Amino acid sequence: MSSKSLTAEYLKGLWDENPVFRQLLGMCPVLAVTNAVINGIAMGLAASFVLILSSVVVASIKKLIPAQVRIASYIVVIATFVTIADRVMAAYFPPISKALGPYVPLIVVNCIILGRQEAFSSRNSVGRALIDALGMSTGFILALLILSSIREVLGAGTFLGYQVMGPWFKPWIIMILPAGAFITLGILLGIALAIEQRTRRGRA
């Protein structure tokens, strides 16, 4: 049982334990769907839906799950919510569902979600698990938003489909190609680590 305040429990997901920048988890969707802001947001919301509901369910049934089959049980819970998210998206937002392709069903193997169940929900109360999942989701959406904004603005000159760059601007095609995803995320990780090292030095 952790003794942190609920606010701290929420805030740790934003920076100290940010799933993407600090824990390097769930990189596949982060790289794959961030070529446009709208795709990044859709992926962020879908993953958050799954993470929050799975955390609540796992935290509430944790006493019923035998330790030997816990991973398999978590996967079944997660897969159920992923199926719901996938079907809802296909029914109500067909263009986005098409753009995200196999990456929505792939949320099921996203290491952030399974990782939080194993590391947090299975040993904390329902309320704490909910707050933790909310924090991690916010951190994940934030990372997707930053990466997809950089890539869409530089790669297409637009933000959420609206033109933001003047007519002088020549889009950097590389940014919407897979290569742009790797390079941008690499640089962002470097920046995040540099900030962290500087603040740690400041505290010491």
Partner 1 sequence: MDLLMLFIAAIFVQNYVLYYFLGICPFLGVSKRIDSAVSMGMAVTFVMTITAVVSWMINHWILIPFKLDYLQIVSFILVIAALVQLVEMFIRKISPPLYQALGIYLPLITTNCAIMGLALLTALRNYNFIHAVIFGVGSGLGFTLAIVLMASIREQLDLADVPEPLKGAGIALIVAGIMALAFTGFSGMIT
Minimal distance, residue 6 CB to partner 1, in Å: 30
Beta-bridged to residue 158, according to DSSP, are 163
Rounded least distance, CB 113 to partner 1, Å: 10
Distance of CA 27 to the CA centre of its chain: 9
195: number of Cβ within 10 Å? 12
Sign of CA dihedral 88, 91, 93, 95: positive
Nearer to partner 1, 25 or 37 (CB): 25
Task: Report residue 129: phi and psi, to 5°.
Answer: -60, -40
Q: Residue 98 or 123: which CB sits closer to partner 1?
A: 98
Q: Least distance from C-beta 185 to partner 1, angstroms?
A: 5
The end-to-end CA distance of the chain, in Å, is 28
The residue (of 8 and 173) whose beta carbon lies closer to partner 1 is 173
Nearer to partner 1, 78 or 130 (CB): 78
Q: Which is nearer to partner 1, 6 or 28 (CB)?
A: 28
Whole-number Å distance between alpha carbons of 159 and 36: 8
Minimum distance of partner 1 from residue 64's CB (angstroms): 19
Which CB, 41 or 106, lies closer to partner 1?
A: 106
Per-residue tokens: 180: 């742009």
SS3 158: strand
Contact 58, 116 (CB under 8 A): no
Q: Which residues form the interface with partner 1 (CB under 8 A)? A: 24, 27-28, 31-32, 72, 75-76, 79-80, 82-83, 86-87, 101-102, 105-106, 108-111, 114, 174, 177-183, 185-187, 189-191, 193-194, 197
Phi, psi (5° rounding) for residue 65?
-90, 120
